[in-house]
């Protein structure tokens, strides 16, 4: 099965049900607009100077990522404590599921060149 396309701006998976024409590059019009604005800034059309390898996000997105990473770290610590305490297999399975749930949609953060 071919890997599903990801948005060039936010890396979310793209649902592209078109059979003909160009493949979608962005998941929403908002992502398309942000990518356009970044290209304009990199070309000197904006007042802000951003390096070509920079990743631009707003403070809300950054705080959301930090919150999710904190939840994930906490879940991993609980799993480590359960292993150290010699928890039963079924308890470890339950804790492992919580760790997986804590990852949420962190996979959308993958950045492709």
Q: Chunked in runs of 10, what are the mean pLDDT values of the chain (113 residues)?
A: 75 78 87 87 65 76 86 90 92 89 77 62
3-state DSSP assignment of residue 13: strand
Say how far apart CA 112 and CA 31 lie, in whole Å: 15
On whether residue 110 sits in a domain, the answer given is no
Phi, psi of 23 (to 5 degrees): -75, 150
**Same domain membership, residue 41 and residue 83:** no
* Number of domains the chain is built from: 2
On whether residue 85 sits in a domain, the answer given is yes
Say how far apart CA 63 and CA 78 lie, in whole Å: 23
Find, among 56, 52, 57, 58, the residue nearest to 113 by Cα. Answer: 52
**Same domain membership, residue 26 and residue 68:** no
pLDDT of residue 9: 86
For residue 79, the enclosing domain spans 58-105
CA 51 to chain centre: 21
**Same domain membership, residue 70 and residue 52:** no
pLDDT of residue 45: 57
**Same domain membership, residue 52 and residue 70:** no
pTM: 0.50
pLDDT of residue 1: 46
Per the CB < 8 A criterion, the answer to whether 44 and 52 are in contact is no
């Amino acid at each position: 099965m071919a890997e599903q396309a990801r948005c060039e701006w936010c890396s979310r998976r793209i649902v592209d049900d078109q059979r003909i024409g160009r493949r979608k590059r962005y998941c929403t019009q908002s992502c398309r607009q942000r990518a356009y604005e970044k290209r304009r800034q990199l070309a000197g059309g904006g007042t802000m100077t951003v390096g070509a390898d920079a990743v631009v996000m707003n403070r809300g997105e950054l705080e959301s990522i930090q919150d999710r990473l904190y939840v994930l770290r906490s879940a991993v610590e609980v799993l480590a404590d359960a292993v150290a305490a010699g928890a039963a297999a079924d308890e470890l399975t339950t804790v492992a599921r919580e760790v997986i749930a804590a990852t949420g949609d962190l996979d959308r953060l993958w950045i492709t060149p």
